[in-house]
Structure 1
Amino acid sequence: MDSTPRHPDRFRTATADPIPSSSPAFGTPARPFRIPKGNAPPTKTSILPILLPPSTLRPVAFRTFTRKHNLTISSSALQTLAVFVGKNCGSGWREEGLAERVLDEVAKIWKRAGGGVIVEEGKGASLKTILQALEGSMSGGRVVVGKTASQDGSLKASMGVEDGRVETAGDTSKQGTAEEDDTQLSLHPRRWLKVVDAFDLPRLTYNVDKKYFEAVKSKPSLFPSPAYKTALFRDRYNLVYQRLLRNESFQSSLGVAGVPSLQRSSSNLAHRQSYKLTPIANLLGRSGTSHLLLGLLAISPTGDLSLVDLTGSVALDLSHARMIPEDGAWFAPGMIVLVDGIYEEEEMVKGAALGGNTGVGGAIGGQFVGISICGPPCERRDISLGTSNRHGSGQLSSSGGFGWVDFLGLGSERAQGARMRRIQEKCLRGDQDAPETTRLKVAIMSEVNLDNMKTLDALKKVFGTYNDLSLRERPQAFILIGNFAQKAIISGGGRAGSIEYKEYFDSLALVLSDFPALLQHSTFVFVPGDNDPWASAFSAGAASTVPRQPIPELFTSRVRRAFATANAELNRSQTAEPAGDAIWTSNPARLSWFGPVHDIAIFRDDISGRLRRSAVNTTLDNESDVTMDEPSNSAAGDAVSAAGEGQVEDMDQQQGTKAATASSGASMARRLVKTILDQGTISPFPLPLRPVLWDHASALQLYPLPTALVLADPEAAPFCMTYEGCHVMNPGRLLPEGGTHMARWVEYDVLRNRGKVREERC
């Protein structure tokens, strides 16, 4: 008898039926009925909260925030995260990896919300708000990805974060969205040209304890507390000090035991030596010993030269000192310098033993006899931002690390750099296949004295030179730098007044009206000088306070009308090009092209003359009977050997001059450039010599180094040179002295980061 069942399909319904029976008679497993996904309730898993100490969570937080996301977490933030993880992840925070996933999501949201490099409450984003939003999207100790994406917009709105300040560079999950948004942006290069006023720059100060920059929260004032005057020089010192400690010559090596010698080894294969700075207060009781000091040159109340740091001050004797390099820089009161020498205690001064005591203002007895003096070594921009790969085999350098700091208020290098470089490539390529079809050029003119009729003729010649070129060959921007009047305005004494000054710009408007094509397709930037209003109303042509306000609109209405008339004649409905514009900015000012990619600093000052008048003379007579070491054997010389004359990469001196004059001008330019960039500020002078607005002193900093610096000094010969990756240009006078009918200016190529001095006969 056949035992095969006659209805075999009846026994296969367990796998065929989409909703099988749970009856034991059919041997099918007990499973719940299937419900469509849209109506499925979320799975809830109960979590038993635990008490998680912050010290136990610290290794996981360090691995996630610091190593993975380049963030630093404060103690208070770690305590907050430990409570959150213990409450929402329970005992599975370590074994199941729940804590690491939660902390990774917190780090991503923190960076998307515009938080700084330090995860701390009140530092650009709210950690409590992030955790509250994240807690609602967690289930069973895990983060539901869909909910976090939907809450991202509401989270930014609740914290008041602007879209332009969102840090997205380190978040790879946002790259696709960023690329999609870039397709909707304007691809004309002038859309990405920003002129940043000195009063609009972020007011940053260096925090020594956290080793990071912080924004000053107080409202700026023209009459701040006297404490800001002291903070001005203290911040400068701290900035140079932290920069110096990252220099290779000041980093201790594990291969060198004990205190290194201050003498340079005769063999290049010897161990690299590291040099140690001595605080001035530690000189007490160490008479006759050699030390390397970093301090501020100052004039003591007795009229003697002294060296000051954060611990005290000491009298300085530079009569036997050598400059490193020889005639390589100026050293004047108000500058921070490295001095290598010997401390000599003073046994008795007016019957009192001062060798082991500090005097008034922290001054110690005795004097420091300098053997060599030099400026602090400069630091390249990519090293300061932590984006350098020059050291090592293709790996990023560990020094620096300020890439997350927004120095211009337009986005940091780490956050916006990669995106802006993609936008730059698209802008330059346009609709064609060949890249870089558009050139970014800037024409820079200085000492444009509008009260001189020859200046107007020179401007016509310059504008006519570019007006005949094609649209792609014309400069995208023209920078006109004062003084726009040869004498101070509104200073009395029969000199020019407000009516005459307005007539000067009315004459400029007539010249500009002859070149409507330039007004329609270029941006004109006007930077004032010391003779321009309103600062000249009370300075009478002397050095006014910096930064100083732009020229008031009262005098520039006719020029603005010329731009409006020229743009009205052009139909821009079929093009994405922005209208030509005239921008009056402060002195100093910054030009930013594509965010942090191109940073151009502009400063108008007679700085070379001020340096020559106030510099300390340290040159020794060849017949001096004083015995001393060779300059190349000093620690100060070794410490800045990398920042010497050999780092000037190129120089473009005007051709056709005599060889002696060109050599003298090149030497003067090198001294000027090295002095300013090594000091890290465009005003390294005492306040009586160059007044500074205390609340806006950070606008004068050159740290990190800009990609280019326009140092408009009419007393120096025009030059273009590169030092430590920063291209420095001085256009000189638009009309050279000597009565020659010549127009002189600088043409700067932004993409190549190179300038060229140009001349045309009027």
Structure 2
Amino acid sequence: MDDVNLRKKIDTTFKLYGFNLRRDAQTFLVDQLRPVASAERQEWLERFTESIQKLSPESAVIEKSLVETAVQECLRSGLDKTETVFNVISSFEVPRFLYDLERKKFMKSSEPSPEIFGPPIDKAAIYRDRYTVLQQRTARHELFTPAVAGGGGGGGGDADAPQKFRLSPVEYLLSCAGRQDDVVVLGMLAQLREGRFFLEDPTGVVQLDLSQAKYHTGLFCENCFVLAEGWYDDRIFHIQGLGFPPAESSKSSRAYFGNVNTFGGPSVVSLKTSSNLLKHEQENQDAMIVFLADVWLDSFKVMDKLRQLFAGYAECPPVAFVLMGSFLSAQGGGGGQARLLRARLRALADLVLQFPELARRSRFVLVPGPVDPACPGILPRPALPAHVAEEFLSRLPSAELATNPCRLQYCTQEIVVARQDLVTKLCRNTVHFPASGEIADHFAKTILCQAHLTPLPLSVCPLYWGFDAALRLYPLPDLVVVGDTFSAFTSSYMGCVVSNPGSFPKSEFSFKVYIPATRQMEDSQLPND
């Protein structure tokens, strides 16, 4: 087949998939397929087009750069440099995706990276983007999708079919002259006046009457997004039921992202689809990740317990030790605290090096805590300063300084780690404290339904406005670890495990061990002397 016929074959195949190739991209493919036997060219063309589909192109016009990426993906064999077994991802490198209302899908933001001290428009975008994520997720839930004609949405339907609800915007209520019953609105809970709560969405604000509200599972705070059900009359929305937007499994969410990498890291495509990594994950049944919080390196007792911990794992090194701060027991200030931490990190390196197999085979991830130097208490928090940990890193190359929060990728699994007293803050600021149920379950449902680590007012948990997406839990990860002074717990919701290892020194030296092969979080504790 000559080049002219090959070009026609390429053009026809791509058009069948709804794509149009740029001239230079077509020429590139001709060069790639010219040496291939005629009988195999169609098979390779279909591989290339399927790979491009997985990359979720923004336009039907395919550029050469995208074709090159697709060809590289198809030519890979085994684990390559982007199929990392273990990777630590900074919060400042998490990709940002925006929901396109016309295409009804998420697109990677083409805007330049946000600034730490961004413009005021970034603050407004925080809640607009959170609302958009939750609104599109809620609108396609089975409770809110329109009933099929002749189905269970009205009379004569299936008696076992779930009751259907209709989502209404706030502006619908504001435009009504009379009473409206059985209204359901998705909006943000806000206290715009002292002692008076309101529901706010992009279309308007309505005052609430919560005196007869029945609260569903969760911790309801200001700036949380809620589904409010009740009746509206005389400019007041009388709430009968208050719940969270329904969560969605990771598998369902990813259908709206394609195969693109939403989690972060070097790979262009999502590693959750990697058969090579899945095989590695399943074959390594003994792999584990150890989580500790409040690792006070200036405490003799803590250092002694760390020695016991490392000795216990010396013959079977974990994939990683995730050590969360604060790394000093007392809050200080200035250069004195930095000098002390530098010395204590040096002592930690000396301790790890006493166990050569751990130093060689395990990763040591350090996540800063609330009082560690030298950044304000604003999330996401940068990693420990390089000048403080320079000697520590040079002596222990397997160590890595992480941001707070940070993301870990182990084979196909996605893990979010945060060191913040989020359970405590949510309990203190909730509008209604639950009368029954475990706090762990309420907390897990809150952050997963909100699709965000910190659904709290900015005055309670300050954020860098432009990096709010780094704290987003959408699609849901496999594991969320929150280092909190609250009692240790493990809960699960919608296929996502939420765990708190508790304070290492305050909980009689207990910690958590995650087994990726079985997706189980195990409770562990060092014995008392």
TM-score, normalising length: structure 2: 0.85
Conserved 8 A contact 1:682-1:700? yes
Residue of structure 2 in register with 1:334 after alignment: 223
Q: Distance in 1 between matches of 2:404 and 2:221?
A: 23
Q: Percent identity?
A: 26
Conserved 8 A contact 1:443-1:479? yes
Residue of structure 2 in register with 1:381 after alignment: 250
Conserved 8 A contact 1:260-1:275? no
Report matched runs for 1:254-403 at 5 Å. 254-255=148-149, 269-283=159-173, 284-290=175-181, 291-301=183-193, 304-324=196-216, 328-345=217-234, 366-386=235-255, 401-403=256-258
Query: Shift in Å at residue 445 of structure 1?
Result: 0.6
Report matched runs for 1:464-503 at 5 Å. 464-467=311-314, 469=315, 473-490=316-333, 497-503=337-343
Residue of structure 1 in register with 2:259 after alignment: 404
Q: Distance in 2 between matches of 1:707 and 1:44?
A: 48
Residue of structure 2 in register with 1:447 after alignment: 294
Residue of structure 1 in register with 2:405 after alignment: 588
Query: Shift in Å at residue 696 of structure 1?
Result: 1.1
Report matched runs for 1:125-140 at 5 Å. 127=62, 129=63
Q: Deviations over 1:13-32 (max 9, x none)?
A: xxxxxxxxxxxxxxxxxxxx
Query: Shift in Å at residue 712 of structure 1?
Result: 1.3
Conserved 8 A contact 2:322-2:365? yes
Conserved 8 A contact 1:255-1:271? no
Q: 1:560 aligns with which of 357, 380, 393?
A: 393
Structure-2 change in CA distance of 1:44 and 1:462 (3 Å): closer
Q: Work out whether 1:730 is the aligned partner of 2:496.
A: no
Residue of structure 2 in register with 1:431 after alignment: none
Q: 1:242 aligns with which of 136, 142, 151?
A: 136
Residue of structure 2 in register with 1:215 after alignment: 108
Task: Say which SS state the counterpart of residue 711 (structure 1) adopts.
Answer: strand
Task: Say which SS state the counterpart of residue 339 (structure 1) adopts.
Answer: strand
Conserved 8 A contact 2:227-2:242? yes
Q: Deviations over 1:531-581 (max 9, x none)?
A: 11111xxx4xxxx111110001212233224325xxxxxxxxxxxxxxxx1
Q: Which moved more, 1:522-531 or 1:689-698?
A: 689-698
Q: Distance in 1 between matches of 2:389 and 2:4?
A: 68
Report matched runs for 1:56-71 at 5 Å. 64-65=16-17
Residue of structure 2 in register with 1:132 after alignment: none
Select the structure that is richer in strand. Answer: 2
Conserved 8 A contact 1:380-1:725? yes
Structure-2 change in CA distance of 1:186 and 1:313 (3 Å): closer
Query: Shift in Å at residue 480 of structure 1?
Result: 0.2
Q: Distance in 2 between matches of 1:424 and 1:483?
A: 34
Q: Distance in 2 between matches of 1:675 and 1:443?
A: 25
Q: Work out whether 1:116 is the aligned partner of 2:10.
A: no
Q: Deviations over 1:459-481 (max 9, x none)?
A: 112111111x3xxx431111001
Conserved 8 A contact 1:318-1:618? no
Structure-2 change in CA distance of 1:241 and 1:520 (3 Å): same
Query: Shift in Å at residue 301 of structure 1?
Result: 4.3
Structure-2 change in CA distance of 1:694 and 1:619 (3 Å): closer
Structure 2: gaps of 5 or more residues: 27-40
Query: Shift in Å at residue 192 of structure 1?
Result: 1.8
Q: Distance in 2 between matches of 1:709 and 1:675?
A: 13
Structure 1: gaps of 5 or more residues: 1-39, 48-59, 67-72, 85-100, 122-126, 130-154, 346-365, 387-400, 429-434, 565-580, 621-663
Structure-2 change in CA distance of 1:591 and 1:761 (3 Å): same
Q: Deviations over 1:702-742 (max 9, x none)?
A: 0000011111112x2112222111111211011235xxxx3
Conserved 8 A contact 2:48-2:67? no
Structure-2 change in CA distance of 1:616 and 1:258 (3 Å): same
Q: Distance in 1 between matches of 2:523 and 2:57?
A: 42
Larger Rg: 1
Residue of structure 2 in register with 1:600 after alignment: 415
Q: Work out whether 1:193 is the aligned partner of 2:73.
A: no
Conserved 8 A contact 1:111-1:168? no
Residue of structure 2 in register with 1:654 after alignment: none
Q: Work out whether 1:679 is the aligned partner of 2:428.
A: no
Q: Distance in 1 between matches of 2:464 and 2:325?
A: 20
Q: Highest relative contact order (Cα 8 Å, sep 6+), 1 or 2?
A: 2
Aligned length: 505
Task: Say which SS state the counterpart of residue 122 (structure 2) adopts.
Answer: helix
Structure-2 change in CA distance of 1:168 and 1:531 (3 Å): same
Query: Shift in Å at residue 112 of structure 1?
Result: 4.7
Q: Distance in 1 between matches of 2:112 and 2:331?
A: 34
Task: Say which SS state the counterpart of residue 254 (structure 1) adopts.
Answer: coil
Q: 1:224 aligns with which of 101, 118, 123?
A: 118
Task: Say which SS state the counterpart of residue 734 (structure 1) adopts.
Answer: coil
Query: Shift in Å at residue 288 of structure 1?
Result: 2.4
Q: Distance in 1 between matches of 2:433 and 2:232?
A: 18
Q: Deviations over 1:347-395 (max 9, x none)?
A: xxxxxxxxxxxxxxxxxxx211111101111111111113xxxxxxxxx
Q: 2:426 aligns with which of 607, 611, 625?
A: 611
Q: Distance in 2 between matches of 1:259 and 1:41?
A: 59
Q: Distance in 2 between matches of 1:698 and 1:484?
A: 27
Conserved 8 A contact 2:52-2:67? no
Task: Say which SS state the counterpart of residue 250 (structure 1) adopts.
Answer: coil
Structure-2 change in CA distance of 1:712 and 1:618 (3 Å): closer
Structure-2 change in CA distance of 1:692 and 1:120 (3 Å): farther
Letter of the aligned partner of 1:116 in structure 2? S
Structure-2 change in CA distance of 1:415 and 1:405 (3 Å): closer
Task: Say which SS state the counterpart of residue 474 (structure 1) adopts.
Answer: coil
Q: Work out whether 1:459 is the aligned partner of 2:300.
A: no
Report matched runs for 1:419-438 at 5 Å. 420-425=274-279, 427=280, 436=283
Task: Say which SS state the counterpart of residue 292 (structure 1) adopts.
Answer: strand
Conserved 8 A contact 2:147-2:153? no
Query: Shift in Å at residue 65 of structure 1?
Result: 2.7
Q: CA RMSD in A?
A: 3.6
Residue of structure 2 in register with 1:746 after alignment: 512
TM-score, normalising length: structure 1: 0.60
Letter of the aligned partner of 2:341 in structure 1? Y
Residue of structure 2 in register with 1:522 after alignment: 362
Report matched runs for 1:690-701 at 5 Å. 690-701=461-472
Conserved 8 A contact 1:341-1:368? yes
Q: Deviations over 1:175-205 (max 9, x none)?
A: xx43xx327x599x9x521111111111222
Q: Distance in 2 between matches of 1:456 and 1:464?
A: 12
Conserved 8 A contact 2:261-2:271? no
